[in-house]
């Protein structure tokens, strides 16, 4: 894993991206020119997804909170984020 601050990386996800015509997740370095963090994360993608699933499943909240699925950087105010949906998606991707 990489040691970094939440503000060192950014991300966007969408159910349908016109360029890919499929659900898409984009993770990028948060600094101009990059710091290499997104690239390191890509190389450890499966481990990151497994760790994320473990954190979300262990969180004692019922619908999602800042400890599991909410983000201070969410452009939609965390409105569409859903804990059960995150677990289902992560399990499907890891299957």
pTM, entire model: 0.77
Contact between 35 and 7 (Cβ < 8 Å): no
Tokens representing 53?
């699933």
pLDDT at 25: 85
pLDDT at 11: 85
Q: Where are the domains of the chain?
A: 6-94
Contact between 9 and 38 (Cβ < 8 Å): yes
pLDDT tens per residue, range 10-36 = 888 888 888 989 888 888 998 888 888
**Looking up tokens 């995150």, which residue turns up?**
86
């Amino acid at each position: 894993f990489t040691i970094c601050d939440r503000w060192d990386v950014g991300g966007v996800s969408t159910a349908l991206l016109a360029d890919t015509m499929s659900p898409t997740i984009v993770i990028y370095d948060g600094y101009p020119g990059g710091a290499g963090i997104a690239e390191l994360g890509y190389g450890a993608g499966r481990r990151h997804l497994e760790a994320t699933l473990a954190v979300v499943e262990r969180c004692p909240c019922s619908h999602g909170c800042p400890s599991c699925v909410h983000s201070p950087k969410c452009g939609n105010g965390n409105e569409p984020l859903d804990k059960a949906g995150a677990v289902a998606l992560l399990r499907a991707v890891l299957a």
